[in-house]
Amino acid sequence: MKFHDPHAIAFLNASAVTAGYVVLFFLPVFALEPALLARFITYIVMVAGGAILFAGTYFFFRYTVDKFIYSKIRLIYKSIYSIKAQKTDRQRFRSNRNILDNVEQEVAHWGEEKQKEIERLKQLEEYRKDFIGNVSHELKTPLFNVQGYVSTLLEGGLDDPSINKEYLRRTEISVERLIKIVEDLGEIAQLESGQIYLNKVRFDIVAVTREVVEMLEIKAHEKEVQVIINQPDKPVWVHADRDKIRQVLTNIIDNTLRYGLDQGGRTKISFFDMDENILVEVTDNGIAIDQEDLPRVFERFYRTSRGREISSKGKGLGLAIVKHIIEAHQQTINVRSTVGVGTTFGFTLRKA
Ligand SMILES: Nc1ncnc2c1ncn2[C@@H]1O[C@H](COP(=O)(O)OP(=O)(O)OP(=O)(O)O)[C@@H](O)[C@H]1O
Ligand SMILES: [Mg+2]
């Protein structure tokens, strides 16, 4: 029995009062030595009185201590949960023998939870700061370019046939890039807030891959990269959002062209049956990704230094979108890469 237990407090007090009663009333009766019958009746009355006194004292203390603890705990509960303690809670507290231990544990648990929440909010704040920093940094370059070209044109360049058309064309490229960044950011924000509607249908992933490869054919031809689909005529049925998966394939295959070898590049797309899922793998023999960069390529705006050197067009948003799309399908995406050999991106899709 713990001494801070309301039951123990009531029990000890009741025992003390009853002991006092025994000393005060029983002993004089002994001392007076009345007749046997009178003594017997007196004993009965005294024992009954003692029992009633014990029970009365016990319940009085139990009630008072419970009430006191309840009033204190109600305040604690109110402040940690910001709620109004219900009347029924009192019953719950009273029937609970280890009420103080429980409150101690609950308060400690609440403290831990709050600490975690603070950490999470700090992380979110960091994330938000990074995000704003990244966005303004990415928007700055094309905006300054537009400003530079427009100023030059206004300051007389418009009448100079050697630059006027060229500067307008460059302005258009920068504006297109701005639009693309804003569109990609909008898409990421939508994906991150979980507001994504997937229109899942049964379709042939090989056919969609063929469409993507055809769409990128000119670019592949310019870069002299050979794009091969493994078993292009054998359908592989999956259950997913067709347009979103086309977007995934477009970015991954486009990356193999962008970060592939200028000549002699080779991109291969293969499909593997994995019981419930289909694994799609896109392999290239391009510039590769260093091991320390691998876990970061799916972050927004993250670009490797070799990637930046080889292409100024990248925004570092494609793979972030890809990862969100695959995760929204409750599937996985991974990447492996070896410098001097190339890179493989693999993602799974539900088989249909
Ligand atoms: N196949 C690849 N080989 C080598 N590096 C790659 C490959 N794919 C991606 N990367 C690296 O990962 C980075 C992030 O790729 P991601 O697709 O997110 O952005 P991006 O292609 O640069 O721009 P965009 O937003 O237009 O897609 C690239 O900048 C590049 O450094
Ligand atoms: Mg990309």
Q: Is the CB of 265 under 6 A from ligand 1?
A: no
Which of 319, 337, 341 is the pocket-test mutation for ligand 1 (most atoms within 8 Å of CB)? 319
Lowest mean pLDDT segment, chosen from 13-27, 144-158, 174-188, 317-331: 13-27
The arithmetic mean of pLDDT across residues 37-61, rounded, is 86
Given this model, what pLDDT does residue 147 score? 97
Assess if CATH 3.40.50.300 describes domain 200-351: no
Contact partners, residue 240, CB within 8 Å, separation at least 6: 198, 200, 201, 203, 329, 349, 350
Give residue-wise pLDDT tens across range 98-117: 666 777 788 888 889 999 99
Which of 141, 219, 261, 303 is the pocket-test mutation for ligand 1 (most atoms within 8 Å of CB)? 303
Of all protein residues, the one whose alpha carbon is nearest to atom 1 of ligand 1 is 256
Cα(131)–Cα(123) distance, rounded to whole angstroms? 12
The separation between the first and the last C-alpha atoms of the chain, rounded to the nearest angstrom, is: 64
Q: Is the per-residue pLDDT at 95 higher than 70?
A: no
The confidence band for 34, taking pLDDT boundaries of 50, 70 and 90, is low
What's the whole-number average pLDDT of the chain? 89
Given this model, what pLDDT does residue 326 score? 97
The arithmetic mean of pLDDT across residues 305-315, rounded, is 90
Cα(99)–Cα(66) distance, rounded to whole angstroms? 10
Percent of the chain scored above 70 by pLDDT?
91
Question: Between these two residues, 44 and 118, which has the higher pLDDT value?
Answer: 118
The arithmetic mean of pLDDT across residues 115-134, rounded, is 90
Q: Is the CB of 284 under 6 A from ligand 1?
A: yes
Given this model, what pLDDT does residue 189 score? 87
Question: Which is the closest atom of ligand 1 to the Cα of 305?
Answer: 31
The confidence band for 193, taking pLDDT boundaries of 50, 70 and 90, is confident
Given this model, what pLDDT does residue 46 score? 81
The arithmetic mean of pLDDT across residues 29-40, rounded, is 70
Q: Is the per-residue pLDDT at 96 higher than 60?
A: no
Question: Which is the closest atom of ligand 1 to the Cα of 260?
Answer: 3
Q: Is the CB of 287 under 6 A from ligand 1?
A: yes
Domain ranges for the chain, please list them. Answer: 6-97, 127-192, 200-351
Given this model, what pLDDT does residue 340 score? 93
- The CA-CA-CA angle for residues 269, 270, 274, to 5°, reads 145
Q: What is the CATH number of domain 127-192?
A: 1.10.287.130
Q: Please identify every residue whose CB atom is under 5 Å from ligand 2, which is an ion.
A: 251, 255, 318
Give residue-wise pLDDT tens across range 231-263: 989 999 999 999 999 999 999 999 999 999 888
Q: Is the per-residue pLDDT at 86 higher than 60?
A: no
The confidence band for 138, taking pLDDT boundaries of 50, 70 and 90, is confident
Q: Is the per-residue pLDDT at 27 higher than 90?
A: no
Report how far ligand 1's centroid is from the alpha carbon of 111 (Å).
Answer: 42
Report how far ligand 2's centroid is from the alpha carbon of 122 (Å).
Answer: 30
Given this model, what pLDDT does residue 120 score? 92
